[in-house]
Amino acid sequence: MQQNTKISQFSFKKLLDNETFAAWFFLAPALILLGVFVIGPIGYLFYLSFTNGSFTKDGITWVGLKNYLRLILNPDFSQVLWNTVYFTIATVIPSIVIPLLLAVLLNQNIILRGFLRTSYFLPSIISLVAAGLGFRWLFQNEGPVNALLNNLGIDSISWLSSTTWAMPVIILLSIWKQLGFNMVVFLAGLQAIPISRYEAAELDGADNWKQFWFVTLPGLRPTLIFSTITTVIFTLRSFEQVYVISGGGPLNSTNLLVYYIYQEAFGQFDFGYAAAAATVLLAITMVLVYLQLRTWNEDS
């Protein structure tokens, strides 16, 4: 009995000495969790998009590409897709540029630097629902923003009931929410750039702009990749802003893809169609992340 135990222990130890086996052995728990909670649900979502998605007693019925054809032919989906593109571009660019400039400024020895860092980071820890309610109060017809405009001699604007101005309010909230997180990430990236590079650039006669363009930006390349990808993902999955502030209105002008999926799944109980829309969202996200990584790799 003891001999068999020693043999099994020896065999197991020998297997662990194999680097490939040892790697898979220690990765197995994480891979199992990843498969159960990520890959599995994604696979089921993809399957559900080819069915009617009915959870009634009649059961699920295979419908093939019908849900995807409905997406293509549905004008509401086209508008939602355009809204999402507009919202993503208008949110991501300022959410990268503004925090980058603030990080460069706060990286200098300025007065109240610690206080300013904390102030800019506070939006990141505030609930999106609470922030959305605050912005809804600010931009209501009789709210503080219109009161300020009236004091300046400008007529009030129906921010949340206007097809022109409702989306900018949601974009402003999203930028404000993402600003602090990206700023802290950029600050960490700036502190990782060796001071000797700036000293060498200064000896070569480079001014502040040239130092920023030829030293800071190249040194922040990995940080920019990370911030851009996380900001794009945060923007594409936006739901709370629309739910709290506008509910997708007016006239579907602020309806984003995630909120549209929610409406179809839990408002209309059309789970197959909602799964097809969610699959499109997943595909868009993966393509954008791939293009960003490829662009940065080609530039490096």
Question: Which residue, among 221, 225, 231, 220, has the nearest Cα to 189 in the 3D structure?
Answer: 220
Q: Which residues contact 133 (CB under 8 A, 6 or more apart)?
A: 244
Q: What is the pLDDT of residue 107?
A: 82
Secondary structure of the chain: what % helix, strand, coil (to 5)? 75, 0, 25
Structure confidence by residue, pLDDT tens digits, 11-52: 555 555 567 777 777 888 888 998 888 888 889 989 989 988
Q: Using 50, 70 and 90 to split pLDDT, how confident is the model at 122?
A: confident
Q: Which of 235, 260, 263, 256 is nearest to 128 (CA)?
A: 235
Res 88: pLDDT: 93
Q: Which positions ≥6 away from 217 have C-beta within 8 Å?
A: 224
Residue 300: predicted pLDDT: 55
Cβ(41)–Cβ(35) under 8 Å? no
Q: How confident is the model at residue 222 (pLDDT cuts 50, 70, 90)?
A: confident
Given CA atoms 227, 232, 233, 238 in this order, what sign does their dihedral have?
Answer: positive
> d(Cα 11, Cα 8) in Å, to the nearest integer?
5
